[in-house]
Every structure is written in C-alpha cells, then in structure tokens.
Structure 1
Amino acid sequence: MESLKVKDYMNRRPVTFTTEMPVAQAVERLLTGNQTGGPVLDSRNKVVGFLSEQDCIAQMITSSYYREQVARVKDIMRQDVLTVKTYDSILEIAQRILTEKPKIYPVVDDDGYFEGTISRANVLYAIDVQLRDGYKLA
C-alpha cells in the first residue's frame, strides 16, 4: 500500500479561488463544482490560503444580518494551509487525516506551485481499490 501515491488519485481540476474574488462568486464555484472547499491561489499559481463551505456560511450569515455582500475571499480564507506533494504516500496522507482532520489538501510541487487537490474521499477510494485488488489475489 506504500506504493499508492497522491499523483495517482488527486483531482487535477478542482475548484480554486483568488484573494480578490467576491465571496458570493466563491460560493457559486463551490456549489457548481460540488466541492466542500478549495485552495486560494496567487497570480503565480501558489497556494496562499484555503476557503471552505464553513468559512462561506459564516460570512453569508454576517452578510445577511448587515445586508451587504462586500467581503472578498482574502477576508475570510484560512492562511495556515496544510499541503502535500504528488509523490507522498496515500497511506501517510490517511494517517495525517486522522490527526490533522482536513477534508481537502492542496497538492503542490517542491517549489510550492499548485498542482491539484486530494480529498478524504480520494484517499478512501485509493485504499479501497488497493484492498479490493488484494482480496482478488487471495
């Protein structure tokens, strides 16, 4: 199972955001992309934050209370982003998920450039495929 790598199961075309994007537009991207969150990228395609459904819900409640929607992604994104590399082991990521609890990790190269995302569901799928293949051999 150690041979399972992030690059083989990651989402190469996930929903992404920019810092200046209005939160309302970000919400639309989340809804149409059917994702729970995604990385915020700068103009060089480097991860500078992460935006989740939870971040958006909190802002939408505030916006509905004050009747204004002027917030930008940079105003509500998390800046402490946990990332992984394409060559990382799926099993190691699974173990990290148990302690760090992210739903989605941005995948970056060694220079910090964004390459995709890997979610809990992607990790679960990879492990399931490996286990099913092992059962077929037994």
Structure 2
Amino acid sequence: MVGRTMVVSDCMSRKVVSFDVRDDVGDVVATLLENKITGAPVLDKDRNVIGFISEQDCIKEMLNTAFYCDLTANAGDVMTHEVLTVHPGMPIAELAELLSSAKPRVYPVVDEGRLVGIINRSDVLQELYDASVRCHHLTDQKTAL
C-alpha cells in the first residue's frame, strides 16, 4: 500500500437506513427489500445504536405473518441486541480481517456512541481493490522508467 493507512471513514456509507424499536417488522422488511440491504441498525432518539435488525431476524416473524396472518412484532422484538460496531478511525486492514471470518457482513460505524455511517464487505473489498489497482499502476510506472 502506498501513502497513509486506509481507515473505515474512507469507504463507509454516510447515508444509513436505520430503524426505531417501535417500527413494525413488515415495514422493516419492506424497507430492507426496497433498499436492497440485508440489515440496518436500530437507533434510540439520540442516534445511539441499540440493536441491529437483519433479514434473518425478520424471517421467523414474516413466516408467522405469511401462514397465520399474524404480524404483531416490532423491530425491538426481533433485533439483535448485542451489536458489533467499528470506529471510523479503524484501519481497513483490521476490519478486513474481521470480515474474512464468520463475523457480521455489515458493521455500524460509531463515534462517541453515535452512528456516523455503515460499512459492509463490498465497501471494504472495493477499497482494497482500488488500492491494489493504484499499487499496480505505480509499479507499472516504475518499471517503465
């Protein structure tokens, strides 16, 4: 790698779909599908991450809805309460190590307790690919001299 260390804030998305604990699971699913995302953080009124809701969290509830026409759950009922987050200053190499194992595919990015972005495997892979291309481009230029 050439230049400064790449960090999470270099490639995170600042526009984040998020939910409130009171949001209806059906509405959550519709939003996930509409935005083509697999999950999103659940926030309190101060934008603190208090949970994460994923497609997997919603499937059982949607199964009840599809077969029993009974949808009573909200995001707070089905979300994962113990959320793994990352800091915007975390080196991409460190996050790439986490993402290459069986950890979550998506991480909320939190600074001083508040949500500031979101980052997923594709974001990190794109940043690593771009750095690789830049590195090879510089190597090609040096060998041409």
- TM-score, structure 1 as length reference: 0.94
Equivalent of residue 43 in structure 2, options 33, 41, 44: 41
Instruction: Give, as a single letter, the amino acid of the residue that structure 1 aligns with 2:74.
Output: R
Q: CA deviation at 1:100?
A: 4.5
Instruction: Give, as a single letter, the amino acid of the residue that structure 2 aligns with 1:133.
Output: R
Equivalent of residue 82 in structure 1, options 81, 84, 96: 84
User: Following superposition, which runs of at least 4 residues in structure 1 exceed 6 angstroms of deviation?
Assistant: none
**Could you tell me which residue of structure 1 aligns to residue 52 of structure 2?**
50
Structure of larger gyration radius: 2
**Could you tell me which residue of structure 1 aligns to residue 124 of structure 2?**
123
Q: CA deviation at 1:21?
A: 0.2
Q: What is the CA–CA distance in structure 1 between the aligned matches of 2:89 and 2:51, rounded to whole Å?
A: 22
- Find the residue that maps to 1:83 and give its secondary structure: coil
**Could you tell me which residue of structure 2 aligns to residue 71 of structure 1?**
73
Q: What is the CA–CA distance in structure 2 between the aligned matches of 1:79 and 1:66, rounded to whole Å?
A: 27
Q: CA deviation at 1:39?
A: 0.4
**Could you tell me which residue of structure 1 aligns to residue 137 of structure 2?**
136
Q: What is the CA–CA distance in structure 2 between the aligned matches of 1:136 and 1:98, rounded to whole Å?
A: 26
- Single out whichever of 23-32 and 92-101 deviates more from structure 2: 92-101
Q: Give the % identical residues.
A: 38
Q: CA deviation at 1:28?
A: 1.3
Residues 2-49 of structure 1: CA deviation (Å, up to 9, x unaligned): 711111100111211110000011111111111111100011100000
Residues 70-126 of structure 1: CA deviation (Å, up to 9, x unaligned): 1100000001100001111111001011234211000000x2101110001001011
**Paired residues, number:** 137
- TM-score, structure 2 as length reference: 0.90
- Structure 2 residues without counterparts, runs of 5 or longer: 140-145
Q: What is the CA–CA distance in structure 2 between the aligned matches of 1:84 and 1:33, rounded to whole Å?
A: 22
